[in-house]
Structure 1
Amino acid sequence: MEIKNSVMDEFRLIRRLIASSKSSYPDSKGFIKVPPGDDACLLSTIKRPVITTDTQREGVHFNRKWLTPEEIGLKAVTVTLSDLAASYARPVSLFINMGLPLSFSSEEAEDIYRGVGIGLQKYGCTLGGGNLSDSDHLSLDLFAIGEGHDFIFPLRSLAKPGDGLFCTGPLGLARAGLEALQQNHPHDQNLISFFKSPVARFDASEILANHKVLCVIDISDGLKGDSMHIAQASGVTIELAIDQKDIDPQLISFCSERGIPAQEFAIASGEDYELLFSCPPETFRNIKKEIPKAYPVGKCLPFTGKHMIAPPSALSSFQHGKK
């Protein structure tokens, strides 16, 4: 059934979407005082509100050939809340404006919200509200509110010369999954799952906060791109280097089959949503005990006149699933 352009059908669909998200009210944390259904959402007082926004556009950030509506909804929630993880904030509420093509069925819209609901439950967040409108392409605009850490708010501008640069988990698997889809290699399902179903690293975020790590960013634009954000904001030069032993065996196999250097591939990849952070090497040694898969990816140097020193590569930068 298609979404009709009428107020009654829009309201009926909104009720069904809220039900599909399986959000419960009052929420267990007591943040939502007035749930979706009124003109606005009433939240209880949040001591340190942290706010982030994200946009997911068909043809730019995702392709419906490769993601089901449910996967689109879940991934949209994950990548939005990942910014809160990088900010040491716990999720409170999420708001979604969704633009739907006229050919889009209400069942497909409900499937998106079902994916949203899976993400909300996974990360302990609630649906605060949203809006529906017609659109030429499927689009989701998301607005998330979190509650910040008691005494730390990490910034990409706080890397210092002498710090090491570290990552909380494997890089390159999401890009490998995307390329497997682009090249029609459905047998690479495990790699494809890293592209379809990233994870917001709230577990690692809590550990980094406990160790008072002050410079953190989530890796959406790729190690090279997000390291550049840190280098420019902090006024340092970052030298990137990944040891072969720290590259996931799945990626080594993938790259070997295609004659691509795995280190270059990992550096140029994106949408991993691991946390990238800088800290003194002695601090990292303690962090490593709690995040065993964390490893060094570079070091911060006094500014040398350019912000980035990286291995030369013929690989193009990561593009967010356009084709």
Structure 2
Amino acid sequence: MNKMEATMLWADRGRTLRCGETATPHAPPRCLAVSRQGNLGLQARRFSLWVQIRGEAWIESAEGRFRLRPGQWIALDRESRPTVQASSTGLCLGMSFEAVGSPSRRPADDSRVYPGRGRLNRRERVVFLRLWRRACPRALMGAGSHGDTRPLLAFMAEVQRDLQRFAQRCPGRTRGHRHQVFVRLQRARLYLKGHHHRRIPMRELARLVNFSHSYFSRTYTFVYEEQPQVTASRIRLAHAADLLISTGAPIGEIAQASGFENNCSFSRAFRAHFGISATDYRRHGDQQEGNSGKATA
């Protein structure tokens, strides 16, 4: 197999760049970087992967708005067309591909990269940075760069290994069909994360992934072993918990920002999920942040 030579696009120091549709049907991968208030928009229908190295970045996509902190990663489907904005100290590195999350046209199921979110620990972040530099064009990154994207994709597929058990539960007669179903389900989960500030009707999710309401609800529940409504509630409560720790906003405002109609319904749901009240959670600082690179969506 020939190496997948990549091109390079870097938005730095407030620069705004737009990556349009590719002129060729099988364009090479593209290394992406956004830093120091740079802004980069991916307008082409290409799968993309982003990892926050330092500072923060904000991503606007078809699935919603996401905030990336150091070590966090997000993988987006080819329909997402994200725009990435870095903070003044931010560095967000990425890569986009013509194929859907795959280093080859017909990869094995265990070598795919799926849409989702997660976090890399410190060691994994160092590995990612080294592989990203290796994937970049030799002319830009120096003699130590090989321009080979396959090791990076294989590494991220390993990071997402926890998703494999869900992908294998998807219905379909072929691996390709199961893969397409799982990509759509993962997009739905990202949509819930990108809209954690409101309640999402299930029919809205079904339309997003082009499934009927009944098929979406049945398939989602079978694959993830929980109903979409349960996932949505858990995501909104996790967002509320993060706001309790990271901001001093009143609890009533946090309830509204997390899609709850009133304080009473928020308080009941929060206590049922975390086992303590929102006030006690804020007081004790019970922030549950994992240090592994396991996928969370």
Does the alignment reach a TM-score above 0.5?
A: no
TM-score, normalized by length of structure 2? 0.29
Larger radius of gyration: 1
Name which structure has the greater RCO, CA cutoff 8 Å, separation 6+.
1
